[in-house]
Amino acid sequence: MENEDWIYSEKVKEHFLHPRNFLMGDESNFDYDAAGLVGNPICGDQMKMYIKVKDNKIVDIRWKTYGCASAIASTSALSELAKGRTLDDALLISAKEIDDYLGNLPKHKFHCSVLGHEALADAINKYKNGAH
């Protein structure tokens, strides 16, 4: 009997199997303006986010992670949601917005949608503070 708490939406599966804006290989191959790094010691996930900024907007974004399927899918969705937004607007992307975009994560995996946002916020704050 399958437990509904473990069921992933088709959109979550799609973003996990085919993540958008995932940085393959060495980050030196991506001309970024700032990078953010966060980790979750409880689950062991780690996320690094790279942003390219022009006219106060995120014009390109890439990321790397050591994380579960939910973290990968959530960050893939976040990268799509953030691209083209102003820095301040990108900071407003919520875990709920990511969850809604994906068609809902299992409840016990909702926390995974926060990790990418924290890495993005770190990159944006570093960019704003000149620590590119």
112 catalytically annotated:
yes
What gap in Å lies between CA 105 and CA 98, rounded to an integer?
9
Catalytic-role residue among 71, 112, 114, 123: 112
Q: What is the CATH number of the domain that holds 71?
A: 3.90.1010.10
69-82 and 112-128 helices cross at what angle (nearest 10)? Answer: 40
**pLDDT tens-digit map of 15-62:** 888 999 999 877 788 899 999 999 876 667 788 999 999 999 999 999
Catalytic-role residue among 37, 43, 69, 121: 43
pLDDT for the residue 1: 39
What gap in Å lies between CA 77 and CA 75, rounded to an integer?
5
pLDDT for the residue 3: 52
What gap in Å lies between CA 95 and CA 104, rounded to an integer?
10
**pLDDT tens-digit map of 93-123:** 988 898 889 888 777 666 666 788 899 999 9
What is the domain count for the chain? 1
| Higher-scoring residue by pLDDT: 108, 81 | 81
Q: What is the mean pLDDT of residues 61-83?
A: 91
What gap in Å lies between CA 52 and CA 35, rounded to an integer?
9
Containing domain of residue 58, as a range? 4-128
What gap in Å lies between CA 16 and CA 31, rounded to an integer?
25
User: 21 — phi, psi (to 5°)?
Assistant: 65, 20
**Coil, strand or helix at 52:** strand
Task: Tally Cβ neighbours within 10 Å of residue 49.
Answer: 31
